[in-house]
Each structure stands twice: as structure tokens, then as C-alpha cells.
Amino acid sequence: MSPRTAAWAALTAAAWHIGPAATWLPAPRALLWPGLDGRGDPARVALTFDDGPDPASTPRFLHALDELAVRATFFVLGERLARHPDLGRRIAAEGHELAVHGWRHDRPWWPRPLRDARDLARTTELVTEAAGQRPLWYRPPYGVLTGGRWAAARAAGLRPVLWSAWGRDWTADATPADVLAEVTRTLRGGGTVLLHDSDVTSAPESWRAALGALPALVAACRARGLTVGRLADHGLADHGLGPSGQERQTSGARSSRPSSRK
């Protein structure tokens, strides 16, 4: 192989790997990939949590959500679910939705398509065991999609979904008021909210800010006539997002089965 050919091959591989990461940018994502942005029924808001299950904090979120009569979607890490399968089963048994956040909360800078495929496959199987049905959704750690992660999600039958509003609830100085203000700053009807039910990849005890913000957040949504619920009930337009990062419309959701720092 000539040096020129080798250089071209390297550039092509790099573009395949990191090109889809452009979808992390909120403004282009909202405009070009509304399904990936979590845009659904304008009368609803999808509430999602990342990084659990965590026995120190997730049960507190489950109690709060029960008190609020809200069901949510939990994007779980495979290694956490493997340690706490009973908690995963409890999430599903209480009417919430389990989704895939990857095996570990790894950074995506180096290509590793085989490992991506293996990790998503085994996390998907664990989620299926806990929930009693295969998951629909995948949100990559840090919200960064790569060519390998796209391909792995497609192989596992998962739809990537990021978020349209977040609480920045992973910092040591976050407060419930801060989280509420940040979420409501960009939240509109049809949006998907990202919060965290664990501090395993965040500042210690940072989950308390998200937990404290929940009642006011749900009240604010309801005051605007918005129903808060799971992604499965959010009416997302189905999409086929391949490793090129180009969205294409498909005929609808699969009828065989009823997320700087992120």
C-alpha cells in the first residue's frame, strides 16, 4: 500500500469512527435528527435517568416517582445491572422502562467496534432478563456516538436516543434549584429530559440534586399541560441512523416489542 493510499484509508477510518459524534451538538441534532434528540408527542415529556442501577440512590428515585405517579426510562450500565439484578427487576416491576447505557461508562476516543458490539449485546441480554422484554433504546456514555457504537446499536436492535434537555446534575455544587432551572430553560413539549439516578460516574452525592428537583419539575410540566412519562410512550418517530450519522425515516416503531460531561 502506498503512503497516499494508507493516509486515505486512515482518514476514512477516522471519519467513520468519530464523524457521528457531531450529533452530540444540541442545535444541529434538534434540527437534523429530531428522533435522536428525543422529540416526541408535543403533549408529553419523556423523563430519563442514566448510570444506575445504584442501591444507594435508585430506590429513592423509585419512591419519589411512585409518590408523583410518574413512570420513567432508566438507561442502565451493564456492569451495574450485573451487580444488582434485583434492583433492575424492581425498576421494571414498578412500571418503569429499562434501556441500555452501555456496559461501562467508557470514553469513546479509540475505535473498538468488536468490543462495542460485545458490550452492547451482553448489556441488552441482561436488560432483557430483568425487564422480561428486549429494550428499545440506547444512549451512549457521555452522549457521544461513534461508528462502532452506531453499528453495535444496530446489531443489538437498539435505537439511539440522546436528550433535548438536561439538568447538569453531575457536579458537586449542583442544587435542586439549579437542576430545575437548567432543565426548564430548554424543555419544550415533546422533549426528553436527562437526569442521573446514581453518582457512580459523577461527583459524590450529586444525585441528591436531581432527586430534590423532581417534584418541582413534574409540577412545572403538569402546569403546562404536559404528561411526564417513559420514552416507550413518547411517540418518537422511528428512524434508521446508520454509522454515517444520516437520518432516514422508516415505517414506524417495531411492533413486536411494546442522554463536556453527560
Average pLDDT over residues 223-228: 98
Residues 46/217, Cβ–Cβ less than 8 Å: no
Residues 6+ away with beta carbon under 8 Å from 121: 152, 155, 156
pTM assigned to the model:
0.83
Cα–Cα distances in angstroms (integers) from residue 258 to residues 97, 131, 140, 193, 233, in the given order: 10, 12, 22, 21, 9
Q: Which of 17, 101, 105, 196 is catalytic?
A: 196
Q: Which of 17, 37, 50, 116 is catalytic?
A: 50
Which CATH architecture describes the domain 15-249? Alpha-Beta Barrel (3.20)
d(CA 167, CA 20) in angstroms, rounded, equals 24
Q: Is 199 a catalytic residue?
A: no
Per-residue pLDDT tens digits for 10-35: 344 444 445 455 665 677 777 777 88
Residues 81/216, Cβ–Cβ less than 8 Å: no
Q: Is 105 a catalytic residue?
A: no
User: Of the given ranges (2-11, 24-33, 172-181), which has the lowest mean pLDDT?
Assistant: 2-11
Per-residue pLDDT tens digits for 98-127: 999 999 878 766 668 788 999 999 999 999
| DSSP-assigned states of every residue in 40-105 | --TTEEEEEEES---TTTHHHHHHHHHHHT---EEEE-HHHHHH-HHHHHHHHHTT-EEEE--SS-
Average pLDDT over residues 161-181: 96
pLDDT of 18 reads: 56
Phi and psi at residue 196, to the nearest 5°: -130, 135
Looking at every residue in the chain, the average pLDDT score rounds to 84
For residue 137, give the C-alpha cell. 433504546
